[in-house]
Amino acid sequence: MDAKLDAVVDGLREARGVAVAFSGGVDSTLMLACAREAVGAERVVALTAVTPYMVRQEIGDAVALATAMGLRHELVEMDMPEGMENNPPDRCYRCKYRMYELLRERAGRLGLDTLVDASNLNDAEQSRPGLHALRELGIGTPFIRHGIDKARVRAISETLDLPTWRKPSNACLLTRLRHNHPISMRELQRVEEAERLLAGMAFESVRVRSHGSLARIEVAAPQRERLIRHADEIGSALHGLGFRYVALDLFGYQHGSMDDPGA
């Protein structure tokens, strides 16, 4: 069906068993399907790292997807890695390094000789400190190796009728906070609740960036007018979560907008 995808599957066929770092997103769901095709369901395990700063709904989604695909799924608990308490600029590196240490350890205990990550070619072309950690640990990234980008992942996923093919990209909640800013569970929870509220109102590609008492909402440009029409309702709801000020970012949704040191 797709020569590059065939190359990914063929590259996994010789493994005694495959562990897939599984978030439940579009990339890792397709990788899980590739692993199942390569070595069979009985030799594949989906591993989901559970951190204090991930969106809770993502865990439920991952569990449901792995179950629907008929695959074994294990949750790997992970505490806040050392040095991340103040959301440092290199948080992704620190997080990924510790996460994949734990996932590799679990894969080894399960007798699986191969652990793969589902990062795609677009990730390799952007500033992704976490990829440096994967390379240092020797974790395979088959989509990058075979030149598969996000658009191709979505197109193949649609062809395979995977339910995630249109799922918006997500990232950990730390991306909603300023760098060098003390992390509190209260702040993470109110950001998560605010985004869940907006998603429940059918806003897609939405982020609530937290600047202390101010919530800066980013939505896709076509949805800005609708958000303004619901401004009173949304403002009141976010006040109830503990934000004193609520603002709409006129530039809309921007990947990595909190990476700017002046944010």
Q: What is the mean pLDDT of residues 61-77?
A: 96
Q: What is the spatial distance between Cα 114 and Cα 108, in angstroms, rounded to a whole number?
A: 9
46's tokens: 């989906």
Which pLDDT tens digit goes with each residue over 137-187?
999 999 999 999 999 999 999 999 999 999 988 889 999 999 999 999 999
Is the pLDDT at 136 greater than 90? The verdict is yes
Which pLDDT tens digit goes with each residue over 35-64?
999 999 999 999 999 999 999 889 999 999
Residue type, 94: R
pTM over 0.85: yes
pLDDT at position 261: 52
pLDDT at position 263: 56
- Residue 263: CA count within 13 A, CB half-sphere: 21
Which pLDDT tens digit goes with each residue over 233-255?
999 999 999 999 999 999 999 88
Q: Other C-beta atoms within 10 Å of 96: how many?
A: 25
pLDDT at position 171: 87
41's tokens: 């369901």
pLDDT at position 258: 80
Mean pLDDT of the chain: 94
Q: What is the mean pLDDT of residues 182-201?
A: 95
pLDDT at position 259: 73
